[in-house]
């Protein structure tokens, strides 16, 4: 697998998806952009949310439990724009599928594959950030990767948020579900 090419393809797809979202929803204030995968790393998809959509979710559900409100804010499955323009990632899915068909059938090869997919996702977001994609309000936007596998997702989020954001932005995020904020989380 040419991981550098895949990273560039993810940058292209994610930029197009997130750019169309910001264009179509230009009156909203986005606070988070994420690339997520499934527990087997078969796909990569974009997700985002705005402060306005978070407020709508909390209001419409009538939720008052702080932990559930935090889940609405930080769990991409709860967001208004989960999988936004997912079709832009179809070629990436096929590239990953074709690669999986050729890789050795071993636990080590599978683990290396998953780690490479995760690294690719982080590299794509990092490249987008370095190119100024997240704009002038960057200090108010978090970027990270996640997985639809909840146990795996939490760790990926904590690891990648530290790699992709300044400490003043990610430290509060680490305590998003009531844990004590720390750089060690």
- Say how far apart CA 165 and CA 129 lie, in whole Å: 9
pLDDT tier at 179, thresholds 50, 70, 90: low
The dihedral of CA 95, 20, 132, 38: what is its sign? negative
**Matching residue, tokens 């950030």:** 129
Name every residue whose Cβ is closer than 8 Å to that of residue 133 and which is 6 or more positions away in sequence: 15, 18
pLDDT at 22 > cutoff 80: yes
pLDDT at 183 > cutoff 80: no
**Residue 149 or residue 89, greater confidence:** 89
pLDDT, average across residues 37-45? 95
Q: What does the mean pLDDT of the chain come to? A: 93
pLDDT tier at 184, thresholds 50, 70, 90: very low
pLDDT of residue 185: 39
pLDDT tier at 182, thresholds 50, 70, 90: very low
Q: Exposure pattern of 61-76 as b/e (b: 16+ CB <10 Å)?
A: eeeeeeeeeeebbbbb
pLDDT in tens, 89-133: 999 999 999 999 999 999 999 999 999 999 999 999 999 999 999
pLDDT at 57 > cutoff 60: yes
pLDDT, average across residues 66-87? 95
pLDDT, average across residues 136-160? 91
pLDDT of residue 137: 87
pLDDT at 158 > cutoff 50: yes
* Residue 94: burial class (beta carbons within 10 Å; 0-12, 13-18, 19+): exposed
- Say how far apart CA 70 and CA 54 lie, in whole Å: 10
pLDDT of residue 156: 95
- Please name which of 95, 112, 120 lies closest in space to residue 7, comparing C-alpha atoms: 120
Percent of the chain predicted with pLDDT > 70: 96
pLDDT tier at 180, thresholds 50, 70, 90: very low
Contact between residue 46 and residue 146 where contact means Cβ atoms under 8 Å apart? no
- Say how far apart CA 172 and CA 179 lie, in whole Å: 10
């Amino acid at each position: 697998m040419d991981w550098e090419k895949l990273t560039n393809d993810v940058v292209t797809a994610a930029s197009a998806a997130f750019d169309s979202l910001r264009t179509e929803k230009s009156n909203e204030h986005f606070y988070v952009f994420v690339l997520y995968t499934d527990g087997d790393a078969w796909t990569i998809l974009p997700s985002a949310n705005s402060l306005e959509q978070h407020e709508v979710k909390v209001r419409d559900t009538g939720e008052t439990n702080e932990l559930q409100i935090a889940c609405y804010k930080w769990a991409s499955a709860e967001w208004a724009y989960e999988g936004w323009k997912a079709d832009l990632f179809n070629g990436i899915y096929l590239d990953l599928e074709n690669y999986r068909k050729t890789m050795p059938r071993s636990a080590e090869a599978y683990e290396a594959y998953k780690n490479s997919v995760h690294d690719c996702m982080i590299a794509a977001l990092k490249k987008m950030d370095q190119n100024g994609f997240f704009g002038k309000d960057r200090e108010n936007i978090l970027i990270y990767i996640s997985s639809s596998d909840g146990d795996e997702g939490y760790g990926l989020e904590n690891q990648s948020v530290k790699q992709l954001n300044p400490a003043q932005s990610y430290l509060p995020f680490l305590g998003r579900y009531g844990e004590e904020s720390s750089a060690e989380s």
